[in-house]
């Protein structure tokens, strides 16, 4: 990243709300990561790994948001560049490929004492990877077939929703006790409602030539949707885990 990229944050226009959300996302993820890492030592042994993973999720996101912010600023400095074409799609999906499976790991960690097996962990991780790879393919590699790839991504997403709300994760969390069951329900709402933000960004970003072309007229940049979604979901996930570590101590 060149010197201009590092200094771009000082020249953000007052009306550039996209760059603003990149900057706020970077700082919010960084602050959350510091908090979770510092609290690991104050956490009971059985929940330290869960809080540590929360710190890793937000730390990885903070690093990627730093680079995404710089990339977006550099691209927007090019004459004629549009926000959609300046979107740091590659960096964003690399971030998701690292952080979303870790979020699935959290479900395994909180249900492990109730009999959660590694097979459940790997099924959740596989579903998250399929969801992200197909989403990336539809958004960046084959946008002409965005509907197909988006549908495949949605199937993997709904599998995760099923596991959390009705499947093995739900059953294990219920048998683990009220604190874990409550935490799983809260995390489940993040998956069901919070993660639903991302399909909206996908529909806006891949609307050209698709049956949902009208989504492009919503008037909200997909980067803003993704940035808000990341902050809510990743930090929120960590706070739920942190709260569980205190209630179940």
State residue 177's pLDDT score: 85
Q: Can you tell me whether residue 206 is helix, strand or coil?
A: coil
pLDDT digits (tens, 9 = 90+) for 187-201: 999 999 999 889 988
State residue 10's pLDDT score: 46
State residue 71's pLDDT score: 93
CA 72 – CA 68 distance, rounded (Å):
6
Q: State what percent of residues in the chain have pLDDT above 90.
A: 70
Closest by CA to 8, choosing from 87, 69, 91, 82, is 69
> How is the chain split into domains, by residue range?
3-247
CA 109 – CA 26 distance, rounded (Å):
27
As given in the structure block, the two tokens for residue 19 are 């760059």
Low-confidence ranges of the chain (pLDDT < 70): 1-13, 249
Count of beta carbons in the 10 Å neighbourhood of residue 5: 17
The pTM (predicted TM-score) of the whole model is 0.90
pLDDT digits (tens, 9 = 90+) for 202-222: 998 899 889 988 887 787 888
State residue 5's pLDDT score: 46
State residue 80's pLDDT score: 86
Class of the CATH-defined domain 3-247 = mainly alpha
State residue 11's pLDDT score: 63
């Amino acid at each position: 990243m060149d010197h201009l990229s590092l200094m771009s944050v000082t020249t953000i226009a007052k009306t550039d709300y996209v760059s603003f959300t990149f900057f706020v996302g970077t700082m919010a993820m960084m602050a959350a990561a510091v908090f979770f890492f510092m609290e690991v030592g104050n956490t009971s042994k059985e929940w330290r790994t869960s809080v540590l993973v929360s710190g890793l999720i937000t730390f990885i996101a903070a690093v990627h948001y730093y680079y995404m912010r710089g990339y977006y600023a550099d691209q927007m400095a090019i004459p004629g560049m549009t926000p959609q074409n300046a979107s740091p799609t590659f960096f964003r999906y690399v971030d998701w490929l690292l952080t979303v499976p870790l979020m699935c790991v959290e479900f395994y960690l909180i249900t492990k004492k109730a009999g959660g097996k590694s097979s459940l962990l790997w099924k959740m991780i596989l579903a998250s990877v399929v969801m992200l790879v197909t989403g990336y393919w539809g958004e960046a590699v084959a946008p002409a077939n965005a509907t197909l790839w988006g549908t495949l991504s949605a199937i993997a997403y709904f599998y995760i929703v099923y596991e959390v709300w009705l499947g093995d994760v739900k059953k294990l969390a219920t048998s683990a006790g009220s604190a874990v069951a409550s935490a799983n329900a809260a995390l489940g709402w993040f998956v069901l409602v919070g993660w639903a933000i991302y399909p909206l960004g996908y529909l806006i970003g891949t609307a050209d030539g698709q049956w949902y072309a009208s989504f492009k007229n919503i008037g909200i940049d997909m980067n803003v949707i993704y940035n808000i979604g990341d902050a809510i979901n990743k930090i929120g996930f960590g706070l739920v885990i942190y709260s569980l570590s205190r209630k179940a101590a």
